[in-house]
Structure 1
């Protein structure tokens, strides 16, 4: 007797069933993968903004702590040298005759002035330290000069700043001769794949 040969394989119906099943399985897996990628992008954006907030806050607190430009041209009352106005808002590079940068330097959001004593010589020399925070596009820059118009540093301390959101407030009149006890710079950071993030930079002046 002749044995019948077996024709193993898939029928068209079986193939269609397999395709449908694979589609049912692939859709939720694809959704999970896409969701994971989006969450990773969001997390990365939030971490970048958080890093900017921490970095800029550290610099700002340090700069405000030192603010205070003494006026040695006047009379000394009770052994205390009075201050000159030490905070400038919306200031150009040469505001008040205190020059830091060039005409190409953007107008600053705030400039903080302070005395700095050079003790590398036998007779200490007084010089003016200027720290300016200005916006270049969406970057917040910290520009610093020390006894010269030539900056010793100019670095971006925050990115993704939303233009129009920066604002400066003080415990008293910012630009007055009575130097405020604290200064605050607020702005909103907007990074791709992340919600708007409000940032507050706060600094308190050292009492000397």
Structure 2
């Protein structure tokens, strides 16, 4: 005897119940996914800003440590050669006759000058090293020249800088011949997926 196949299926009410249950289950799952994506974006943004802060801080500390341009034109007192003004604020590419870059180079937030001795010839040759930190849009650049106006490097060390926030402070008058013991550059990084991130670059000059 052949068995009869059941023609029974889902009723409309049963389908509606299933749809309602799926909606109830799917809503919180969708919220979890959306929150997870947002948190991932925010974390990525914070990591990127943190990386910029660490990178720029390392460069700045190194540059300030070396700051100090000696003035060999005057008298040497007690064997100590005095300094020339070695920190320049809001400086053009040719500020103080020290040229680094071209007329197209943006005005620097701060320029740090130092002596650089080339020891490759039989007698050491004194050159001037210039490190300039300038903004191009929302990017903080580190421009470096040694012995000529042609930059040996020009790298972006921080992104998403709020152009209204950079400020430079020094332990003493920044532009005096007496080189300040420390220099600080502060600014705020603003990204779409993270809170404003204040960054402080700090460097202390070597006592030599």
Structure 2, gaps ≥5 residues long? none
Deviation at 1:4, TM superposition (A): 7.4
Residue 104 (structure 2) aligns with: 104
* TM value normalised by structure 2: 0.98
Segments of 5+ residues of structure 1 without an aligned counterpart are: none
Map of 1:51 onto structure 2: 51
SS in 1 for 2:42: helix
1:179-194 matches, within 5 Å, as 179-194=179-194
Cα distance in 1 for partners of 2:201, 2:31 equals 39
Structure 1, residues 79-119: CA drift from partner, whole Å, max 9, x if none? Answer: 10000000000000000000000000000000000000000
d(CA) in 2 for partners of 1:150, 1:21: 70
Instruction: Note the 1:104-183 alignment, pairs <5 A.
Output: 104-183=104-183
Question: Deviation string for 1:25-48 (max 9, x for gaps)?
Answer: 000000000000000000000000
Aligned-pair CA distance for 1:5? 6.0
Deviation at 1:203, TM superposition (A): 0.1
Q: Distance in 2 between matches of 1:27 and 1:203?
A: 52
User: 2:32 aligned with 1:32, yes or no?
Assistant: yes
1:60-99 equivalence runs, <5 A: 60-99=60-99
The alignment yields a C-alpha RMSD, in angstroms, of 1.4
Q: Displacement, 1:7?
A: 2.0
Shift, 1:66, TM fit: 0.2
Question: How far 1:6 moved relative to its partner?
Answer: 3.0
